A and B are shown apart, each in its own frame.
Chain A
Amino acid sequence: SAVISQKPSRDICQRGTSLTIQCQVDSQVTMMFWYRQQPGQSLTLIATANQGSEATYESGFVIDKFPISRPNLTFSTLTVSNLSPEDSSIYLCSVERLAGSGEQYFGPGTRLTVT
């Protein structure tokens, strides 16, 4: 399995500000993803974090709102910019250790509340 940590675990932010979430994995992984889980909902993929290149965003998510970095094979950040109450969600990092292996793990999540 993969051990994934996220920082912060939770935060309360004011509207208009930004929050950067860090995801650290205990070993090198090929694929890293960022998901959002809105209150009482299922999970939706925001983007695939690509090492050394721009992230690949899903429909409805844009780089200006959700900039992502992935400087190496064990670390990624997601920034949620210009926060509004609608951004209140749990943000989860996910990894697939080897592409095509099927084993996909999730971090503990970051619970964001925007006031």
Chain B
Amino acid sequence: GEDVEQSLFLSVREGDSSVINCTYTDSSSTYLYWYKQEPGAGLQLLTYIFSNMDMKQDQRLTVLLNKKDKHLSLRIADTQTGDSAIYFCAEKASGSARQLTFGSGTQLTVLP
């Protein structure tokens, strides 16, 4: 079955760039996602990328997809304290399945 893996923790200094990495196993993934979850809140869709793309940029966020290596990354430029949260990577398989398979989440801590 599908599997999505992320490192559990990342700490960066305010103003630096953060890079959160994710690997997945399903080669038939159609979409890959990054969600942000702040304490006590639901999931906020940050960005998503179609599997035939290799990069997507949206303001401070850059998503890179290496389909050959099944590797997805999220770069946050000029990281701020408000970026501290858990970031979930997720993938959607092709076919009739509509579910998302989530990684375990990466806790990003932004240090002053």
**Chain A residues close to B by CB (< 8 Å):** 1, 31, 33, 41-45, 48, 58, 92, 94, 96, 99, 102-109, 111
Contacts and interface: CB of A to CB of B under 8 A. Distances in A.
A102 B50 contact: yes
Contact of B43 (A58, A92, A103): A92
- Give the interface SS of chain B, mostly helix, strand, loop or mixed: strand
A107 B98 contact: no
Contacts of B35: 106
Given A104-B33, A106-B42, A108-B42, A43 B88 contact: yes
A96 B86 CA distance: 22
Nearest to A56: B98
Interface in B82-112: 88, 92, 98-100, 102-105
A106 B45 contact: yes
Contact of A102 (B42, B48, B88, B103): B48
B50 A108 contact: no
A102 B98 contact: no
Q: How large is the interface on B (under 10, 10 to 19, 20 to 34, 35 or more residues)?
A: 20 to 34
Contact of B103 (A42, A58, A96, A107): A42
A96 B98 contact: yes
A102 B41 contact: no
Contact of B98 (A31, A42, A105, A106): A31
Interface in B5-48: 30-31, 33, 35, 40-45, 48
Q: Which of B88, B98, B103 has the most CB of A within 10 A?
A: B98
B102 A109 contact: no
A105 B47 CA distance: 11
Contacts of B99: 33, 45, 48, 58
Q: Which of A43, A48, A108 has the most CB of B within 10 A?
A: A43
Contact of A48 (B43, B45, B92, B98): B98
Nearest to A4: B42
Contact of A42 (B30, B48, B50, B105): B105
Contact of B88 (A1, A42, A45, A103): A42
Contacts of B43: 43, 92, 106
